Amino acid sequence: MKDRKTIIIKRYQNRKLYDTQNSTYVTLEDIGTMVREGHDVRVIDNKTKDDLTSVTLTQIIFEEEKRKKSLLPLNALKNIIRNGGDAIKDIVNKTTDSVHSTISTAKEGAGSFYGKLGSAIPAEENLIKGVLEKTQQFSKNIEGKIKDTVDSIGHVNSLQQEIRKLRQRVLYLEKKLRVYEKR
């Protein structure tokens, strides 16, 4: 996979989001689409230069949950609230262990097969070497992605605070809306 340049999104005090690569204003939905398409996105506060990526991604999840797109099962959300980042880290660690186990099994199987073939068939030998190399590269890529995911989990506490603030804001806006509707 070719290296992609990280898309920098600036968040201004008026909450507008600006894509510096394409020189356009974007929405949370646009950022969600970028992430789903595999782009690396970084959101920074224009004034303080604080990294707001994790908070922004949490807002995207919040908005999609509000629209009933249900990205996460209810039990997973409850576990995140109960256990914070530990719940996510456990899931990632279990996934990592499973991936490592699968890759190890594949390597052992391919190595065993390669050993049995010997050098009797040179074309297949090169093919098997290629498969082993690809498997090792795939393993390194997966490990890198998992490490990035685990590193980003460190921001869970700030995400939880932001979720609480967003909930309070939603409740406040709902109250204002009810008052407005009664008029």
Q: List Cβ neighbours of 45 (8 Å cut-off, separation of 6 or more).
A: 10, 11, 52
Which of these ranges, 7-16, 31-40, 66-75, has the smallest mean pLDDT? 66-75
Radius of gyration of the chain (CA): 23
Q: What is the pLDDT of residue 1?
A: 42
pLDDT at residue 120 tops 80: no
pLDDT at residue 2 tops 50: no
Q: What is the pLDDT of residue 146?
A: 74
Within 10 angstroms of residue 57's Cβ, the number of other Cβ atoms is: 19
Q: Quick one: residue 73, left, alpha or beta (phi over 0 = left, psi -120 to 50 = alpha)?
A: beta
Higher pLDDT, 131 or 91: 131
